[in-house]
């Protein structure tokens, strides 16, 4: 809460907007010189607690969360992240009060309609929107609006926003198994062809996004809540910042990606060193002879001049 108050005070300083935009461009350009994750996933937790902290209506907390999503998406797109997934609604969330469910559904559709139609955000950024989850649980009027938005953005290829809605990992895995069983029954797939790749191809993602490089769950809760359990099981960084989702904006996103990029760079350097150690001197010379800092490896050593010993 104190950080939010301080930021609001600083933002009110004349000329701050210009300085802030300049600084953001500067640090984005720095980060783009290193490795950038292909797939980042967010558990947008903390909207209700944000509303309670600031004595706001619950609907306003979810609205602020939707605004935060726009800032996070813009940061990811500017840095070159290709795939982003957000946990918009868990199947277990159907246990919440119906007015809150209706609020979340309406906010989701209105925000998606806004970025895909009203302000042409998706067209400008070449952003495709795709729903992953059990569509049979989505009310018909909401599903029709979502399908219209998906169709409108289907031609964009640069970036994809996957919206887990409604979703759980257990349901995702169950869905994949059912798809595979159906294909085996129809003769489209043989039993001995079933492997991990087939399971991944039949997830709601349909094999599009690949593994998750970074998974972020805001609000400080250190649990995954049945989300992306398969996709983040290997070589994935999982972050649990204490920041509530409406407060998780550009700088929080930048810092998360910066840490990943830094450690990824170290991993790549270590891997290269280990690979070089396995090469022969001739292969090293062939690969790196044009590198400006390269020095030809010493393969033959000559004995230094012998010291003369004179006895007195």
Active site residue ranges: 45, 93
The three-point CA angle 40-42-48 to 5° equals: 165
Instruction: Find out whether 232 and 217 touch, Cβ atoms under 8 Å.
Output: no
- Write the CA distances from 75 to 21, 87, 253, integer angstroms: 12, 18, 7
Quick one: which of 93, 68, 66 has its CA closest to 250? Answer: 68
Count Cβ neighbours within 10 Å for each residue of 94-113 and write b for 16 or more, e otherwise. eeeeeeebebbbebbbebbe
Phi-psi region at 226: left, alpha or beta (left = phi > 0; alpha = psi -120 to 50): left
214's enclosing H/E stretch is strand 214-217
């Amino acid at each position: 809460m104190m950080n939010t108050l301080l930021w609001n005070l600083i933002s009110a300083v004349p000329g701050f907007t210009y300085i802030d935009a300049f600084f953001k461009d500067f640090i984005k350009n720095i980060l783009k010189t290193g490795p950038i994750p292909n797939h980042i996933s967010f558990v947008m937790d903390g909207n209700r607690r944000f509303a309670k902290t600031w004595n706001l209506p619950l609907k306003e907390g979810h609205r602020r969360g939707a605004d935060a999503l726009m800032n996070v998406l813009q940061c990811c797109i500017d840095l070159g992240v290709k795939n982003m997934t957000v946990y918009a609604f868990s199947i277990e969330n159907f246990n919440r009060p119906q007015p809150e469910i209706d609020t979340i559904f309406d906010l989701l559709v209105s925000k998606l309609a806004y970025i895909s139609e009203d302000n042409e955000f998706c067209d400008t950024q070449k952003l495709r929107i795709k729903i992953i989850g059990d569509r049979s649980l989505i009310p018909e009027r909401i599903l029709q609006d979502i399908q219209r938005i998906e169709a409108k953005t289907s031609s964009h290829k640069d970036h994809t926003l996957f919206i887990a809605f409604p979703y759980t990992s257990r349901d995702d895995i169950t869905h994949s198994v059912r798809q595979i069983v159906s294909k085996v029954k129809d003769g489209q797939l043989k039993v001995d062809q079933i492997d991990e790749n087939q399971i991944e191809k039949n997830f709601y993602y349909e094999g599009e996004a690949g593994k998750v490089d970074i998974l972020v769950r805001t609000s400080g809760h250190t649990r995954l809540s049945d989300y992306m359990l398969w996709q983040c099981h290997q070589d994935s960084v999982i972050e649990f910042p204490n920041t509530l989702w409406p407060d998780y904006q550009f700088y929080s996103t930048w810092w998360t990606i910066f840490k990943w990029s830094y450690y990824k760079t170290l991993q790549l350097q270590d891997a290269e060193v280990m690979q070089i150690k396995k090469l022969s001197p001739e292969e090293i010379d062939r690969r790196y002879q044009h590198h400006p800092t390269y020095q030809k490896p010493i393969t033959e050593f000559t004995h230094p001049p012998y010291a003369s010993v004179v006895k007195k």
